[in-house]
Amino acid sequence: MAAKRHRLAQRRKALGFTQEGLAERLDVDPTTVRRWESGKTEGGPQPWLQPQLARCLQVSAEQLEELLNEPVTVDGEPSALNVDEQQHVEAALAAARRYFDGPVVDYFRHQLDTCMADDGELGSMKTLPTVLGLLRAIEQHGREVQPTVRRELLSFGACGAEFAGWLYRDVDDPVRAGFWYDRATEWAQEAGDFPMQGYVLLKKSQMAYDARDPLRVSTLAQAAQDGPWQLPTRVRAEVTLQEALGMAMLGEPLPTVERKLDDARQLLAQATTDHEEAGLLGAYFNDSTLLLRKASSFTEAGRPGRAAVVFGDVLANASLSRRDTGYFRARRAAALALSGEPDEAARVGLASVDVAIATNSLRTLRVLAEVVRALTPWNGRPAVRELCDAMVATPGSSYDSVVSQSVTVRMTRACHSWLCGLRYCGSSWTAKPCWAPSISTSLCSARN
């Protein structure tokens, strides 16, 4: 299958070009642009055309090369795996096939539970191959089972697809995240799993927070809350918290936001009292998660000092996964920077750098890049310089693709792009400027 350059097409659309319009600007035939984006022209445009294309797309030559070297698309899903990881997917797929004549759903459930349990310690990129292998097994062989088994299989497949969406969000790949969220909805609809459909709307609201789209944060959360399904009480608490976040982003008064936050707290208390089954949606959502999300709302509402205190309390007392500890340290560093505490912000941010690299969490690195930008007025201070040095240090590894590249190199590109005011963030392009000149609060809270 030819490699489809989704991000090249996404960049073109973000700048308002049709394929015909871009072709006219470059004085080439529209079929030429279509071949570039479909991957039918290996390497993309001729070298002499690439500088002009880079100017049209408002990117540097290096950034254009990254768009042209996007990894391949497999079975409709934009793959972000290197060769070794693709082999791991095939191994997982082969293992899954062996079970389609036996306890299919039990096997899928066991493998997915294992992946979810390991994600916070291993990181998303080490978890993705197995998850993708399982999902492709469902896509390819789900028609070989009886209808009753298929519905049950697709219900679990929807859970797996939602999880894949989360994993791609953690590696800062919203296109692939959106693909798997849509697949989760499709499978949930076929399986008659109404709560999962509402749950995916919640996750899309959280992804809208990644994109700094407050209106969609709010409307998607409301849609999740008001849809024709009965969500578990924990999920209703999480949705209510997301509504509060949207209110804060849209500039609602702090007392209004706090009332919504209190509604979420009461719902969570009710869920705890009701002893809901651990296997239900949102089982990870607990008192610590609520407090971390509450802190995000405080930051959005212009109370970063309160947010920093809450983040600090939870980090000191809660048992978080390795990846989530790094992420929320970065979020605390962001709040401290907004509060005018540069030395403490730099110290806390530095503590999360190694964890972000080890767990391949580009989401964490994007927050740290914001911290670096916010600390620019204090870049003469030793602690701030140390954080900046850690963020720009590279061991000399290459920057070949979204996944096969070293995370350290990705971090360096993201950091330099932020410092230089470019529009390239981590591994994805945005049609908007790289957020605000001062720090923004970016990115939704972790799953657990």
The pLDDT, as a whole number, for residue 440 is: 35
Same domain, 117 and 173: yes
Does any domain span residue 203?
A: no
The band of 45, judged by pLDDT with boundaries at 50, 70 and 90, is confident
Least confident of 67-71, 86-90, 312-316, 335-339: 86-90
The band of 432, judged by pLDDT with boundaries at 50, 70 and 90, is very low
Cα separation, 209 vs 216, in Å, equals 8
**412 vs 84: which has the higher pLDDT:** 84
Does any domain span residue 167?
A: yes
Predicted confidence (pLDDT) at residue 226 exceeds the cutoff of 50: yes
Same domain, 302 and 406: yes
The band of 410, judged by pLDDT with boundaries at 50, 70 and 90, is very low
Q: How many domains does the chain have?
A: 4
What is the tens place of the pLDDT at every residue in 48-86? 888 899 888 888 887 788 788 765 444 445 444 444 544
What is the tens place of the pLDDT at every residue in 146-183? 777 788 888 889 999 999 999 999 988 888 899 999 99
The pLDDT, as a whole number, for residue 140 is: 72
Least confident of 43-52, 250-259, 313-322, 350-359: 43-52
Whole-angstrom CA distances from 123 to 48, 324, 362, 398, 403 are 41, 10, 10, 21, 13
Does any domain span residue 206?
A: no
The pLDDT, as a whole number, for residue 38 is: 79
Does any domain span residue 342?
A: yes
Does any domain span residue 76?
A: no
Least confident of 27-41, 64-78, 263-277: 64-78
- Percent residues over pLDDT 90 in the chain: 41
Q: What is the pTM of this model?
A: 0.69
- Structural domain of 50: 6-70
Same domain, 271 and 323: no
Does any domain span residue 208?
A: no
Least confident of 64-73, 114-123, 192-201, 419-428: 419-428
Strand partners, 90: none
The pLDDT, as a whole number, for residue 149 is: 77
Does any domain span residue 367?
A: yes
Same domain, 322 and 432: yes
Same domain, 164 and 41: no
The band of 96, judged by pLDDT with boundaries at 50, 70 and 90, is low
Same domain, 188 and 109: yes
The pLDDT, as a whole number, for residue 159 is: 93
**How many other C-beta atoms lie within 10 A of the C-beta of residue 259?**
13
The CATH number that applies at residue 428 is 1.25.40
Same domain, 104 and 177: yes
Predicted confidence (pLDDT) at residue 227 exceeds the cutoff of 90: yes
Whole-angstrom CA distances from 70 to 42, 75, 289, 361, 427 are 11, 16, 35, 19, 10
Same domain, 43 and 105: no
Does any domain span residue 210?
A: no
Residue labelled with tokens 């570039």:
36
What is the number of H-type helices and E-type strands within the chain? 21, 4
Query: What are the phi and psi torsion angles at 425 (to 5°)?
Result: -120, 110
Same domain, 88 and 176: yes
Last residue within a domain, chosen from 270, 285, 300: 285
Mean pLDDT for 41-49 is: 76
Q: Under 8 Å CB-to-CB from 287, ≥6 apart: which residues?
A: 268
Mean pLDDT for 306-319 is: 93
Find out whether 129 and 88 touch, Cβ atoms under 8 Å: yes
